[in-house]
């Protein structure tokens, strides 16, 4: 009986010890699992943060997307009356040879002053789309209430402003209007760019896409280095300036001169000058793999491409096209146009002053 009791006690003790060990093991395993999960979570957050930071540092661009040509004006939240007035403003600008950026300034101004409506009243004797005043020499009441006349006089005053092309949209508008609220025009810039883009015209068989560069219209979502992002923005800021063969800025450009200038303004000299030379030193990029800042080559001849452009984002480029056409952004179709892409190697970029 005593032996049986001792054996029973030993079995109970072994079971108790085994259970304790198992419980302790489970507790340790559970603790390890919790710690591992926490560590993984921290690691994931750190990776996500570093990737976000890397996107920023590497030139992942954010902000307002550039207006895309072809969008219907009805999608811009305008009434039939407003669409008609917008068309008049843009048509008059084209007839006067005003650069696209001037159209954006005019539309933004009319949005702020009248909501793109031909008002018969306003502050003191202000009238019409741009709230122009007969007492200030803008014309008679009947003239100012005629949208085409009001648009023409607005543009005439705009082009008299020295350096308006390089001003922000709000700055250019204020230089004409002398408003008590000079910053109010800025909030209409993107809407104005979209309205102008929706009426984009065709040049040389290409649909021109207006680029509003004064307040955040950037190539959105395209990766690139910080250097690349910087000089592409400089190139975009030249939209509307004339093409002049051999010119490298700041007031006019040829195709490769635009690239040389944009890089120089961003602190880098380029080891080559012509489109053929740029093509010869660039690393080939397959069509469909291009990104912000890649070069676009066309018009191939025996000595190489006669024309070079810059990718703003896939499907959109900026270029100084040819005599008679200003620096512009436009959509492209690589296959139809026979385009080739290249990427400038770091070895070709020399810090200015180094």
> How many other C-beta atoms are found inside a 10 Å radius of the C-beta of residue 116?
25
pLDDT of residue 100: 76
> Can you say whether the dihedral through the CA atoms of 283, 285, 291, 296 is positive or negative?
positive
pLDDT of residue 146: 97
pLDDT of residue 203: 54
Cα separation of 18 and 3, whole Å? 22
Residue 218 pLDDT greater than 50, yes or no: no
pLDDT of residue 193: 77
What is the per-residue pLDDT across 147-200, written as a single tens digit (0 to 9) for each? 999 999 999 999 999 988 878 889 999 999 999 888 899 889 878 877 876 665
Residue 253 pLDDT greater than 80, yes or no: yes
Ranges 16-20, 41-45, 190-194, 280-284: which has the least confidence: 41-45
Helices (H) and strands (E) in the chain, counts: 11, 12
**Mean predicted lDDT score pLDDT of the chain:** 77
User: Cβ neighbours of residue 111 under 8 Å, at least 6 residues apart?
Assistant: 188, 191, 192
Categorize the per-residue pLDDT at 104 as very low, low, confident or very high, splitting at 50, 70 and 90: confident
Residue 108 pLDDT greater than 90, yes or no: yes
Element (H, E) at 317: strand 316-319
- 312, 280 contact by CB (below 8 A): no
Residue 338 pLDDT greater than 70, yes or no: yes
pLDDT of residue 27: 46
pLDDT of residue 10: 54
Distances (CA, A) of 137 to 117, 132, 153: 21, 9, 10
Ranges 25-34, 240-249, 319-328, 332-341: which has the least confidence: 25-34
Categorize the per-residue pLDDT at 280 as very low, low, confident or very high, splitting at 50, 70 and 90: confident
Q: Cα–chain-centroid distance for residue 217?
A: 4
Residue 78 pLDDT greater than 90, yes or no: no
């Amino acid at each position: 009986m005593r032996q049986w009791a001792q054996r029973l006690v030993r079995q109970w003790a072994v079971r108790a010890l085994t259970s304790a060990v198992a419980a302790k093991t489970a507790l340790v395993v559970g603790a390890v699992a919790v710690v591992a999960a926490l560590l993984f979570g921290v690691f994931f957050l750190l990776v996500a943060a570093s990737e976000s930071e890397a996107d920023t540092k590497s030139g992942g661009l954010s902000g307002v997307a550039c207006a895309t040509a072809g969008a219907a004006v009805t999608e811009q939240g305008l009434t039939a009356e407003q669409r008609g007035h917008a068309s008049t403003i843009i048509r008059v600008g084209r007839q006067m040879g005003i650069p696209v950026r001037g159209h954006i300034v005019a539309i933004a101004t009319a949005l702020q002053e009248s909501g793109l409506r031909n008002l018969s009243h306003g502050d003191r004797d202000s009238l019409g789309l741009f709230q122009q005043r007969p007492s200030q020499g803008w014309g008679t009441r009947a003239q100012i209430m005629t949208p085409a006349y009001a648009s023409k006089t607005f543009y005439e005053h705009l082009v008299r402003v020295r350096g308006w092309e390089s001003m922000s949209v709000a700055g250019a508008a204020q230089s004409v209007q002398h408003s008590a609220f000079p910053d109010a025009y800025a909030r209409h810039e993107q809407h104005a760019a979209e309205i102008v883009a929706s009426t984009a015209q065709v040049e040389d068989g290409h649909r021109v896409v207006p680029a509003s560069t004064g307040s955040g219209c950037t190539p959105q979502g395209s990766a690139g280095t910080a250097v690349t992002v910087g000089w592409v923005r400089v190139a975009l800021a030249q939209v509307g300036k004339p093409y002049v063969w051999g010119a490298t800025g700041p007031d006019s450009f040829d195709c490769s001169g635009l690239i040389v200038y944009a890089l120089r303004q961003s602190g880098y000299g380029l080891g080559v000058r012509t489109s053929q030379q740029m093509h010869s030193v660039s690393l080939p990029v397959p069509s469909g793999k291009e990104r912000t800042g890649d070069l676009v080559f066309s018009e191939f001849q025996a000595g190489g491409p006669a024309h070079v452009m810059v990718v703003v984002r896939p499907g959109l480029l900026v270029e100084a096209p040819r005599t008679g056409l200003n620096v512009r952004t436009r959509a492209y179709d690589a296959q139809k146009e026979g385009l080739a892409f290249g990427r400038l190697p770091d070895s070709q970029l020399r810090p200015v002053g180094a």
